[in-house]
Amino acid sequence: MTAITKRFTDALDYARIAHAAQFRKGSNIPDLYHLLGVASLVIEHGGNEDQAIAGLLHDVIEDCGEPHRALVRQQFGGAVAKIVDDCTDGSAEQKKAHSDAEAKRQDWTRRKLDYLSHLAKADDTTLLVSGCDKLHNARAILVDLENPEVGEEVFKRFTGGKQGTLSYYHSLAETFTRRKTPMAPQMEQVVARIHELAKASKRRGFTGD
């Protein structure tokens, strides 16, 4: 049983303030919705409080900047900081370093390939939080695909485009299944449905093409 203490509510407030001006891609939904969703999935799949807190904070370096790396460690401890670091494929500053579309795409491809390699050997503590993050994102993509007012237009929100996004999520699902991560069966089902709706010509591992 996961005990939730004031540390969790402190982390929730930290996330609320850090992400206050940020919204989900293509929507008016605050990013906090996603962070709460990931933390909830972590608890649902047996994660402890450190993992749930990391679920709340997993995007803070990517979306809000490098200074949060030290602040998370200082306020929430080394265990939480390690998971947050492990769930980060690039800081906000690194992502802003590229201005033109092709440079952004190449950077996106490199980061995703590196992240997949990282997940192949990451510890189970990190894998659960990462898997819950990717599951929540995949479910959001599926909801938009099933919405006739959005459909495949959803892929225009992503730097990797349609094929890059499909390939990346397929490779993520394969990795979580191979590592026997608790949420892997749900991830497999969601990703399979995304491919079905997107009418992908074939499934393949992520190559960035």
**pLDDT tens digit sequence for 5-14:** 999 999 999 9
**Whether residue 92 sits in one domain with residue 183:** no
Domain end (from 71, 97, 123): 97
**Whether residue 209 sits in one domain with residue 107:** yes
**Whether residue 125 sits in one domain with residue 80:** no
Per-residue pLDDT of the chain (209 residues; tens, 9 = 90+): 678 999 999 999 999 999 999 998 877 889 999 999 999 999 999 999 999 999 999 999 999 999 999 999 999 999 999 999 999 998 878 877 777 888 889 999 999 999 999 999 999 999 999 999 999 999 999 999 999 999 999 999 999 999 999 999 999 999 999 999 999 999 999 999 999 999 743 444 555 54
**Whether residue 89 sits in one domain with residue 48:** yes
Range of the domain at 69: 1-97
Residue 197 pLDDT: 93
Residue 94 pLDDT: 81
Residue 208 pLDDT: 54
**Whether residue 202 sits in one domain with residue 125:** yes
Residue 40 pLDDT: 98
The alpha carbon of residue 12 and the mean position of all alpha carbons in its chain are separated, in whole angstroms, by 17
Residue 67 pLDDT: 96
**Whether residue 207 sits in one domain with residue 123:** yes
Residue 209 pLDDT: 47
Residue 27 pLDDT: 78
**Whether residue 115 sits in one domain with residue 209:** yes
Specify the residue for token string 């960035």.
208
pLDDT tens for 146-168 read 999 999 999 999 999 999 999 99
Q: How many domains does the chain have?
A: 2
**Whether residue 190 sits in one domain with residue 115:** yes
CA end-to-end distance (rounded Å), the chain? 43
Cβ atoms of residues 144 and 194 within 8 Å: no
**Whether residue 111 sits in one domain with residue 18:** no
| Cα–Cα distance, 173 to 157 (Å, whole number) | 21
Domain end (from 66, 97, 128): 97
Residue 205 pLDDT: 52
Cα-based distances in Å from 187 to 26, 104, 111, 134: 22, 27, 21, 8
Domain end (from 41, 72, 97): 97
CATH number for 51? 1.10.3210.10
**Whether residue 15 sits in one domain with residue 77:** yes
SS3 annotation, 125-144 = HHHHHHHHHHHHHHHHHHHH
